[in-house]
Structure 1
Amino acid sequence: MVPARPKPGTPALVSAPQPASLFDQFAQGWRSYALIALIAFLSAQFGAGRMQVMDPEEARFAQATRQMVEAGDYAHVRLQTETQSARPIGVHWLQAAAVNAAEPLTHKRNAIWFYRLPSTLGLLLAAIATLWGGAALIGQRSALFGAALLSVAMLAGFQGMAATADALLLGFTTLALAALARLRAPQRKKVISLLFWFALACGVLIKGFIAPLAATLTLASLFAWERRAAWMKPLLWWPGPLLFAIVAALSLGTLFSFERGGLDQFTLPGFHLFLLPFLIFPATYALPAAARLSIETIRAPLADEDHAAFRFLICWALPILLVFELTPAKLPHFALPAYPAIALLCGAGLTAMTGRRWRTTHPAGVALFAVAGGVIVALMSIAATFMPGDFAADTRRAISTALIGVGIVAASFTALIMLRRPAARCAVLVACALALSFSFRERILPEARALNVSSEVVAALTRARLTPRDDRPLWVVGYSEPSLIFITRTDIRLAGPVEAGGEAQIGDAIVIEGRAMQDMTTQLATRDLQFTPAEEPVRGLTIANLDRVALFVGELRPISAAPPADVPR
């Protein structure tokens, strides 16, 4: 932009104020919030209507909500495959509200898209709260960059699509910490304090202690660093703590609940840090600049108020990462509450790269972006091989997927090198992430049938006219994924070979995993019964434990009436 000429009478040494660019004018006000909401909505909706319910966590959440709706009991969470299910109830209330609102139109309770809507709202809330809180810390322009990068991040977008608690937890945790960021400014302190406690209370209802832990770590780290607590005093205004105390007391049984998925594994520290460039992609490009800003902030004296905002972001992200790095059990999404602060640091880094003489951040960011993008494209190519077809078809699909993905990453790589404006670079990063997410979640994963074992079993039952109904139960032996319950009926019978072989009746539909076939056949033979398969077994890979399974679909008949069964192995 050409600088404006000074007006007559303006001193020669004083330059006239520069007019705001079109982007800066757009970034101010409601338009930026509308843009971020649109980006977050698109990111969360890729695959939401096409991908089958996923094991294990999404299927558990959705099936527990379905049983809540079917029983009409909204005070308890039950799941058929678990003996006890003490878990926070808030996410199930929101999912049940979405299902009850949609059921008169669809007449279905197993349409997974409606269970995923609250997660979409969670990602929208997280993105908008990131922009709102970031604007008070690093300015509207950099906050807009950070919120956009968070909205399209690979992990955040995926969680925004999945019907679990993580996107909602991210939304309310981000809202609470954004309120803390706003609390440091002298305006509407009581209202913001009440909003902080409200967000924490909602976080407790969604996922127990994680949101209060994130807020406590941030406040404690800031006090230890700055030795200032006066700005925190409005948090003691009594309505907020009282609201939180009531919710915490009502949720006492589930306050310290934790996901089972990572409790049976041990991962060395460094797990979340290693995955960060891939899970926060495309903000990967700005990670070196964010690290440079963080190092400068740590070295700066406390009297330097220019780094106060970065101290807040560091105290938001770093303690959360450290705590989850030190816990023995780790799953990738555990550290997700730290991502908004990292995204804001990346947004500030994008802006800072054009105004500072940093020689290494841009080349390092481009290289890191290329490596992370290449790994994501490789994973997409591997997923494409799980579509139906022989080895030649798998090879063609893997190559075509790789070519498309490499083309997207290469075009973005070139644009990052050629373009200089932070807004242009941010637009390139957002477009790249949306394109890859669309290909992966909207095109590849829904067609990867070998990964959607339960859906293929239901298709085989439909072809054989053996779908469960009131007068014909479905027995499932050796396979206990909750997705099969959600797709079929809540009252299907998950059992072992002894129970199923002793209680199943003639004409009952049965699904048997190959490794349980011998024991099941032995049990049935004692009753002069035989399992008759309807077709070739359904083969696939379970996501929960990456175990290959072969599921035989058929029915129970007397040995004298059953045709000779040549059961494929």
Structure 2
Amino acid sequence: VRFLLALVVPSWIVFEAAVTKLPHYVLPLYPGLAVLAALALERGAIANVGKRLGDLRGIWPILGTLIVAVMGFGFFWFGGGWAYGLAALPVLALALTALWQSAFTFRRGAEAAFLTAVVGAVLLYAGVYQFLLPQMRAVWISERLAGIAREAGCPAAGVATVPYQEPSLAFLIGTDLQFTDPVQAADLLKQGGCMAFVGANMVPLFEQRAKEIGLRYRLATSVPGFTYNGGRNVVISVFRPEGSGQ
């Protein structure tokens, strides 16, 4: 048990401390967590849970309710649609029912309550990750920018981005993506580059450099969004050389 805790806890802390993270980063920890859970069941640790842990049983449904409330607010605030929101309601309702049921039945059997909570958690994750999160378009900036680049047929080496430099954008477009500054972004388009993603605060510098080097360009589109790492609204302009495809 101590070995498994030494494997899981420090690694988890490191990943939580990282500013940028992706869901698959913690996958190597899942076997350790699974073995810990199996040991707890096999040794009766859950059935023999102490009073102090039993008093915390109300946290499960409360956290679940808070997650649903926050995600529901974020869903409509960040561009979700009514259809997906309504589709998620039955799943989320079942999840909360299971979580609250687990809290009320804890005294009659810790293991049964725990398994009921697991069912509720699975339903909660399904509702959040399958229905709500994918539709929050405002937070999926990298996916939207990558889609624009793919539709235009731009190779990664021909795309510059400033100051939006999320690693996920490089994963989606390609590792040759140019993380640069507004001056070099304009230079790239002048030298035959395909596209430049320029944040609103960098547009004046980009335009100034474009004027200096005689770059003829056009605004293809703008991508508004919300950066969950920085916690702020952004607008990213997509510039292309004049005469390039739509």
TM-score (ref. length: structure 1): 0.35
In 2, Cα distance between the equivalents of 1:367 and 1:126?
A: 23
Partner of 2:34: 127
Q: Deviations over 1:72-91 (max 9, x none)?
A: xxxxxxxxxxxxxxxxxxxx
In 2, Cα distance between the equivalents of 1:415 and 1:494?
A: 49
Partner of 1:408: 95
The answer as to whether partners of 1:477 and 1:496 remain within 8 angstroms in 2 is yes
- Could you tell me which runs of 5 or more consecutive residues in structure 2 were left unpaired when the two chains were aligned: 1-17
| SS of corresponding position for 1:382 | helix
Question: Which structure carries more strand by proportion?
Answer: 2
The answer as to whether partners of 1:514 and 1:551 remain within 8 angstroms in 2 is yes
Amino acid at match of 1:140: R
Distance 1:547 1:119, change over 3 A: same
In 2, Cα distance between the equivalents of 1:426 and 1:401?
A: 24
In 2, Cα distance between the equivalents of 1:416 and 1:523?
A: 62
Partner of 2:150: 462
Q: Deviations over 1:54-85 (max 9, x none)?
A: x95336xxxxxxxxxxxxxxxxxxxxxxxxxx
Identity in percent: 17
After TM superposition, give the deviation of residue 385 of structure 1 in Å: 2.3
2:226 equivalent to 1:538? no
Runs ≥4 residues deviating over 6 A: none
* Match runs of 1:361-372 below 5 Å: 364-365=55-56, 367-372=58-63
- Could you tell me which runs of 5 or more consecutive residues in structure 1 were left unpaired when the two chains were aligned: 1-54, 60-111, 146-346, 563-569
Amino acid at match of 2:44: R
Q: Deviations over 1:507-551 (max 9, x none)?
A: 42211112211221111011221331223x111111211121112
In 2, Cα distance between the equivalents of 1:551 and 1:410?
A: 42
Partner of 1:5: none
In 1, Cα distance between the equivalents of 2:125 and 2:209?
A: 48
Partner of 1:240: none
Partner of 1:25: none
2:134 equivalent to 1:449? no
The answer as to whether partners of 2:217 and 2:239 remain within 8 angstroms in 1 is yes
The count of aligned residue pairs is 225
Partner of 1:141: 44
In 1, Cα distance between the equivalents of 2:226 and 2:30?
A: 29
The answer as to whether partners of 1:416 and 1:425 remain within 8 angstroms in 2 is yes
Counterpart pick for 2:67 among 365, 376, 388 = 376
2:125 equivalent to 1:440? no
Q: Deviations over 1:280-314 (max 9, x none)?
A: xxxxxxxxxxxxxxxxxxxxxxxxxxxxxxxxxxx
Q: Deviations over 1:381-437 (max 9, x none)?
A: 133226645xxx46x765775675344323432454257222321221111111111
Q: CA RMSD in A?
A: 3.3
TM-score (ref. length: structure 2): 0.75
| SS of corresponding position for 2:241 | strand
The answer as to whether partners of 1:370 and 1:409 remain within 8 angstroms in 2 is yes
In 2, Cα distance between the equivalents of 1:130 and 1:366?
A: 17
The answer as to whether partners of 1:474 and 1:492 remain within 8 angstroms in 2 is yes
In 1, Cα distance between the equivalents of 2:101 and 2:26?
A: 34
* Match runs of 1:293-308 below 5 Å: none
